[in-house]
Amino acid sequence: MSQMLAEIRQQPAALAKTLTSELRSTEKLKKYLATRRPKFIVLAARGTSDNAAQFGRYLLEIATGIPVSLAAPSIYTLYKAPPSFEGSLVIAISQSGESTDTNLVLERARAQGAFTIGITNEADSSLAKLAEHVFLVRAGREKSVAATKTYTGQLLALYLIAYALGAQVSLDDLRLVPDWTAEALTVEEAIRARAERYRFMDHALVVGRGLNYSNAFEFALKMMETCYVVAERFSSADLMHGPIAMVTHSFPAFLFAPPGVTWPSTRELVEKLHGLGAETLVITDRSNKEAKEVSRAVVLPMSLARKSAIPVELFTPIPYIVPAQLFAAHLASIKGLNPDEPRTLSKVTKTM
């Protein structure tokens, strides 16, 4: 079995451990932030961590009402023109904690009086030393080059930050996420069988919206890294503004399809794609009954109906990425590739 597959399966335990271990310091952070509400929030990251940051961008803005921006590291590293970050909260996300450019963003921001948080897997990393508050993703060492358990761990840390900022993120609901993730793993054999169909796929389209927009980036990245598929990723709205012209007969499309406010536009897009002759596969759960009626579907066993989170799909991004990770890992094997050793890549990438 590949390391990637083993690490995908470690996620429920890793998430439960991270949640339990980080709760106390989250409450401390909450007290600290209660009297120091940031004027805006900046997220800095690269690669998979940048996809987690993209999730944070939606979660934190929706849940806290504080404007959020994704940092453009080259503005610090190449142009040496850091903007003014007084009164802001700057969050850097890095699996290794040794990403030179995102660490530089954090350092510059802290020097300007921003409050800084680091999210990393490594307690002894440069990032853990630089940041004023550290969330440790307690996923254990990630050996596969393709990140999986650190991505979901980073998403979990972002929920805790939203909670610490006073958002309506229920810890009771959050405690269900490791279980939902375990339930998501039960679809593995169905996913493996389905992946056979895609043996000769060389390009693809992945669509997500709102809270699951980052999952579209992450699914596409896993397919690029481990299956060498040229995978495009868009929100349904951005796709309609031009790129949809490239979609033709037999184009493979993957869509995240939670229930809630993003579903009507996702359903509309599924129908449009079918009209163009594309073949869709949606990732959804039992509480979105329409999804499996309009498209081939991976249906997760969890059901959101029993919970009352607002928005209803608030806690879908972690369980929903699991079938995507499984799909990429199995498709790589089906294509005769080793998902643990993508050509050209190494685990720690340093860029400036």
d(CA 123, CA 138): 9
Cβ proximity to its own copies, 125 vs 188, nearer residue: 125
Does residue 246 belong to the site contacting its own copies (CB under 8 A)? Answer: yes
**Contacts with its own copies: how many residues (CB under 8 A)?**
72
Does residue 343 belong to the site contacting its own copies (CB under 8 A)? Answer: yes
d(CA 221, CA 228): 10
Position among 235, 280, 287, 325 found at the interface with its own copies (CB under 8 A): 235
d(CA 219, CA 176): 23
Does residue 46 belong to the site contacting its own copies (CB under 8 A)? Answer: yes
Residues numbered 170 to 199 that lie near its own copies (CB under 8 A) are: none
Question: CA dist 198 to 221, 230, 249, 330, Å?
Answer: 17, 13, 15, 10
Does residue 153 belong to the site contacting its own copies (CB under 8 A)? Answer: no
Q: How far is the CB of 81 from its own copies (least distance, A)?
A: 5
Does residue 342 belong to the site contacting its own copies (CB under 8 A)? Answer: yes
Cβ proximity to its own copies, 96 vs 287, nearer residue: 96
Beta partners for residue 229, in sequence order = none
d(CA 339, CA 282): 23
Position among 248, 306, 308, 336 found at the interface with its own copies (CB under 8 A): 248
Stretch that binds its own copies, among 170-178, 186-194, 234-242, 288-296 (CB under 8 A): 234-242
Stretch that binds its own copies, among 1-9, 122-130, 321-329, 339-347 (CB under 8 A): 339-347
Does residue 261 belong to the site contacting its own copies (CB under 8 A)? Answer: yes
Position among 52, 158, 229, 281 found at the interface with its own copies (CB under 8 A): 229
Residues numbered 54 to 93 that lie near its own copies (CB under 8 A) are: 57-58, 61-70, 72-75, 78-79, 81-85, 88
d(CA 129, CA 144): 25
Stretch that binds its own copies, among 6-14, 21-29, 246-254, 319-327 (CB under 8 A): 246-254
Q: How far is the CB of 10 from its own copies (least distance, A)?
A: 21
Q: How far is the CB of 247 from its own copies (least distance, A)?
A: 7
Residues numbered 118 to 147 that lie near its own copies (CB under 8 A) are: 146
d(CA 289, CA 273): 20
Does residue 10 belong to the site contacting its own copies (CB under 8 A)? Answer: no
Does residue 200 belong to the site contacting its own copies (CB under 8 A)? Answer: no
d(CA 294, CA 276): 15
Strands 279-285 and 296-300: parallel
Position among 15, 33, 42, 137 found at the interface with its own copies (CB under 8 A): 42
Residues numbered 312 to 331 that lie near its own copies (CB under 8 A) are: none
Residue 336 burial class via C-beta count within 10 angstroms: exposed 0-12, middle 13-18, buried 19 and up: exposed
d(CA 144, CA 302): 28
Which runs of consecutive H residues, i.e. helices, occur in 92-249? Answer: 100-111, 126-130, 149-164, 171-174, 177-185, 188-195, 213-227, 236-240
To which residue do tokens 């269900």 refer?
176
Q: Are 56 and 43 in contact (CB under 8 A)?
A: yes
264-272 long-range contacts (CB < 8 A, ≥24 apart) are 265/209, 265/236, 265/237, 266/207, 266/209, 266/236, 267/291, 267/294, 268/236, 269/207, 269/236, 269/239, 269/240, 270/294, 270/295, 272/244
Does residue 39 belong to the site contacting its own copies (CB under 8 A)? Answer: yes
Stretch that binds its own copies, among 123-131, 177-185, 187-195, 343-351 (CB under 8 A): 343-351
Q: Are 121 and 7 in contact (CB under 8 A)?
A: no
State the binding string over 90-109 for its own copies (x if CB under 8 A, else -).
-----------x--------
Q: How far is the CB of 239 from its own copies (least distance, A)?
A: 9
